[in-house]
Amino acid sequence: MLSMEHLIHDGALLADRVAVVTGGGGGIGAATAHLFARHGAQVVIADVDAGLAQRTADEITTSGGSAVPYIADVRDADQVDEFARWVLDRFGRVDVLVNNVGHWLHHPGSFVDTDPQQWDELYRINLHHVFLVTRAFLPAMIGRHRGAIVNVSSVEGLRGYPEDPVYAAFKAAVIQFTRSLAVQVGGDGVRVNAIGPDVTETLQVPYSQWLSPDEQAQWPQWVPVGRMGVPEDQASVILFLASDLSAFVTGHTIPTDGGTGAAGGWFRSSRRAGREWTNRPIAP
Ligand SMILES: NC(=O)c1ccc[n+]([C@@H]2O[C@H](COP(=O)([O-])OP(=O)(O)OC[C@H]3O[C@@H](n4cnc5c(N)ncnc54)[C@H](O)[C@@H]3O)[C@@H](O)[C@H]2O)c1
């Protein structure tokens, strides 16, 4: 294991580690792939979008890092098994796995209007692949008594999400899978943690396009740290959980939300003289 001094001063938190990032072509996954490579990892970018995977890998290699794209739909068990064989044949090991793929898919309205096919789609894009990809790589980690898995859940797995209880249920399941697997494999040298992002501009939540300039000026009211998140905000916490800096941390989910979880229903407000906060926003 690297010494803490080395970790802090050399900036190479993942030197010589092989790191798989699912959904590494865009958004949080791409930022994670970039940051991992800057910290010395050999990054494998698994993405269903060939163009995104290639572009992110090219950006990394152009700037001196190590990255290879691999085209796979992580919802497909055969593709996942083939992917794992490819990684292990090529690199001989895997040190870090980031299960980053996930999507809200649609805003279904009322739960009573949803159907089993929609539930199944949400299950496959948010939870099933976490099982598939983890099962595919975990034996190699256990075999070397070394590995770090980081699952990307959501703030919606930590709080009530009225827009889609089914999505929230699967994201909460990622957190419970993280916790339980961490206990199971803790003695095998494998750590398992998660993050719970909120309000981070990416391909699937393009706030800059969704919000008018007036609305964007409201970020300080909505988020305690005063701004929306960017993918790098998530990537840095994923790096922490993937590296030896968190060697004594397992089974946890870090809310990466700019403080929205801590705030609960509290918002900054300028509507009441002498009172900076309200839990009763007049025009939410
Ligand atoms: N952005 C946020 O504010 C936010 C909030 C909560 C949770 N999350 C979670 O963060 C994770 C990353 O989301 P993002 O916002 O960066 O998304 P994104 O849409 O920007 O990126 C997702 C990436 O995954 C790839 N992908 C999609 N389906 C795939 C599949 N079946 N197989 C392989 N690759 C696939 C896409 O091509 C894309 O490159 C997700 O699990 C999401 O639920 C994000």
Residues 188-199: tens digit of each pLDDT: 999 999 999 999
Torsion region of 201: left, alpha or beta (phi above 0 gives left; psi -120 to 50 gives alpha):
beta
Q: Report, as an integer, the average pLDDT of 63-80.
A: 98
Is pLDDT above 60 for 6? Answer: no
At residue 57, the pLDDT reads 98
At residue 180, the pLDDT reads 98
Is pLDDT above 70 for 44? Answer: yes
Between 66 and 10, the more confident residue is 66
Written as six digits, the tokens of 6 are: 């080395």
Is pLDDT above 70 for 9? Answer: no
Which range has the worst mean pLDDT, 22-31, 56-65, 171-180, 270-279?
270-279
Q: In the structure, which protein residues have their CB atom closer than 6 angstroms to any atom of ligand 1?
A: 22-23, 25-29, 46-49, 52, 73-75, 100-103, 152, 154-155, 197-200, 202-205
Is pLDDT above 70 for 8? Answer: no
Atom of ligand 1 nearest to the CA of 23: 24
Q: What is the CA radius of gyration of the chain?
A: 19
Q: Which of 48, 125, 127 to mutate to test the pocket of ligand 1 (most atoms within 8 A of CB)?
A: 48
Is pLDDT above 70 for 7? Answer: no
* Protein residue with its CA nearest to atom 30 in ligand 1: 73
What would the pLDDT profile of 95-142 be if each residue is shown by its tens digit? Answer: 999 999 999 999 888 999 999 999 999 999 999 999 999 999 999 999
Written as six digits, the tokens of 107 are: 């805003």
What average pLDDT is seen over the chain? 95
Give phi and psi for 279, each to the nearest 5: -110, 15
Q: How many CB atoms lie within 10 A of CB 238?
A: 30
Percent of the chain with pLDDT over 90: 89
Q: State the Cα–Cα distance between residues 50 and 69, nearest whole angstrom.
A: 8
pLDDT band at 260 (very low <50, low <70, confident <90, very high): very high
Written as six digits, the tokens of 142 are: 């256990």
The angle at the Cα of 142, spanning 140 to 143, to the nearest 5 degrees, equals: 60
CATH architecture of the domain 4-211+228-264 equals 3-Layer(aba) Sandwich (3.40)
Q: State the Cα–Cα distance between residues 8 and 37, nearest whole angstrom.
A: 17
At residue 45, the pLDDT reads 98
Contact 168, 160 (CB under 8 A): yes
At residue 5, the pLDDT reads 54
123 is catalytic: no
Q: Report, as an integer, the average pLDDT of 68-84.
A: 98
Q: Ligand 1 centroid to 137 CA: how many Å?
A: 20
At residue 281, the pLDDT reads 83
